[in-house]
Chains A and B, each alone.
Chain A
Amino acid sequence: MMGFSEADIMAIWLTFKVACIATLLLLLIGTPIALWLAYTKSKWKGPISAIVALPLVLPPTVLGFYLLIAMGPHGPIGHLTETLGLNYLPFTFSGIVIASVFYSLPFVVQPIQNAIEALGQRPLEVAATLGAGPWDRFFSIILPLSRSGFMTAAILGFAHTVGEFGVILMVGGNIPGVTQVISVQIYDHVEAMEYNEAHWLAAAMVIFSFLVLTLIYSTSRRKKVTGGLYGS
């Protein structure tokens, strides 16, 4: 019987923390972007959509490499954090959270945008004529009616961050308890020929993800049934 080492447990906890914070940030950042993309008629819609979707195309190690350069002392983000009196981001917890947000952005923006687009302008126009302000419209119309889109976005954002490897490997520096997440730890075990430890950690990751996803999918289905009044 093999268990988890202290480093493994630290990696599990850290991954969970990164994924939760990144998902929260993703929803906060992704929602306004999705709203804008759904309703805008600006000529910038195309280019902005493309920028949001870019992480889908770029290999994670490539994205990670350029984030490393951008966040470093010679990069624009590095300059920014320096002038703000903050530390450079690579090899820090905040660094990998921010990298994760970049990396998972399309997975969060697109489902929300699709849900809002499916909703159409009409319910909002009706609400506006009834005197609802923009915040009111968002919280009482958009949010409840595109709940499944937000749910999907949160699940994908979370899952994608848990499974993230290449980007964190590049900007993380593999520091136990700070940037050494599960995927990196599994990779390390395999590289060090510690296959048993790798199997354990991988199994834990599969079971955890399966449970979380099952839980979310089954609760979201139930809600859909009771909230089926609005169709789709």
Chain B
Amino acid sequence: MILIFILSAPISVHAETVTVAAASNFGATLKKIIPAFEAETGHQVNLVLGSSGKIFAQIIHKAPFDVFLSADDIKPKKLEDQDITVQESRFTYAIGKIVLWSPEIKIINGSIVQSGKFNRLAIANPKLAPYGMAAVEVLKSLGLYETVRPKIIQGENIAQTYQFVATGNADLGFIALAQLSQKELSNKKDNIWLIPDTLYSPIRQDAVMLKSGQNNKAAHDFMQFLRSYTAQKIIQGFGYEIPKEKEEKE
């Protein structure tokens, strides 16, 4: 790790390197944001992707990360409580949207769930993944949770949940809107149900700066850039919502 740091030392004097640890579900989005950030600032980004829980454990054990982009708002808050983050640095960088998706069956506004005409329903593990928690909330709001429970299978994370549906092992699945490609979104509208906000609480994904990034200009610039118009456009393009200024914090 140290070696990587040395090897990737900045060429220019003012440019620095920031190590960003991020939840895998945001990986595709970041791979668009990072080049834009690097082009604009000349800084370099080392990206480490993993599950939020794993990154959290690594941070507690002094992983050399400067910025943490979690898939939820609980873990950044916990790190804040343990006083290993830069004060006042936490903010919501994206709000996740959940959809019900089936590549083969027509989903007319979720009536399929009610009909029970499917083999299995994949959700992310509600204990681990905020998208899984949201899925359970949706089912409870619809009053269907107990009925469909025997048909539920759990992915460890939202990526595995997608896999279960994509490989046909589950007919339906609650996944993140951000996981569906533009093609799927425009061509197969009947196979996707965009779930109304009223059925679940917002999936806030929070970013936080860690103490190791405190004196790193690139880390500060990156946090700033995540809130820029450019970054927000990219984030929205991937199917997330952007928090309105006022609700940024809790």
Contacts and interface: CB of A to CB of B under 8 A. Distances in A.
Interface of A: 65, 68-69, 71-74, 88, 90-91, 169-170, 173-175, 187-188, 190-193, 195
A16 B168 CA distance: 30
A173 B154 contact: yes
B75 A193 contact: yes
Contacts, number: 58
Contact of B164 (A173, A188, A190, A193): A173
From A71, A72, A169, name the one whose CB has the most chain B CB atoms within 10 angstroms. Answer: A72
Nearest to B152: A175
Given A190-B57, A192-B127, 19 more contacts: A68-B163, A68-B164, A68-B169, A69-B167, A73-B168, A74-B168, A90-B169, A91-B153, A169-B160, A173-B153, A173-B164, A175-B154, A188-B125, A188-B127, A188-B128, A191-B156, A192-B53, A193-B57, A193-B75
B24 to A, nearest CB: 12
From A68, A91, A190, name the one whose CB has the most chain B CB atoms within 10 angstroms. Answer: A91
A193 B120 contact: no
Given A191-B51, A192-B53, A193-B57, A88 B153 contact: no
B166 to A, nearest CB: 10
A173 B161 CA distance: 9
Q: Which A-B residue pairs are the 3 nearest by beta carbons?
A: A191-B53, A173-B153, A72-B169
Contact of B53 (A73, A174, A190): A190
Nearest to A87: B119
A165 to B, nearest CB: 11
Contacts of B76: none
Nearest to A171: B169
Nearest to B127: A192
A191 B167 contact: no
B225 interface: no
B56 interface: yes
Given A188-B125, A188-B128, A193-B53, A175 B168 contact: no
B117 interface: no
A69 B168 CA distance: 8
B32 interface: no
Contacts of B160: 169-170
Contacts of B125: 174, 188
Contact of B169 (A91, A174, A175, A192): A91
Contacts of B119: 88
B101 to A, nearest CB: 16
B70 to A, nearest CB: 12
B168 A192 contact: no
Interface string B146-174: 00000001111000100110011100000
Contacts of B75: 193
Interface residues of B, number: 23
B78 interface: yes
From B57, B125, B160, B169, name the one whose CB has the most chain A CB atoms within 10 angstroms. Answer: B169
Contacts of A65: 163
A113 B153 CA distance: 39
B155 A173 contact: yes
Contacts of B167: 68-69, 72, 74
A191 B156 CA distance: 9
A191 B128 contact: yes
B156 A169 contact: yes
Contacts of A175: 153-154
Contact of A192 (B120, B128, B163): B128
Given A169-B156, A173-B155, A193 B169 contact: no
Given A68-B163, A88-B169, A91-B169, A174 B154 contact: yes
6 contacts: A72-B169, A173-B154, A174-B153, A174-B156, A188-B156, A195-B57
Nearest to B168: A73
From B119, B122, B154, name the one whose CB has the most chain A CB atoms within 10 angstroms. Answer: B154
A77 to B, nearest CB: 12
B54 interface: yes
Contacts of B53: 190-193
A175 B153 CA distance: 7
Contact of B156 (A73, A91, A187): A187
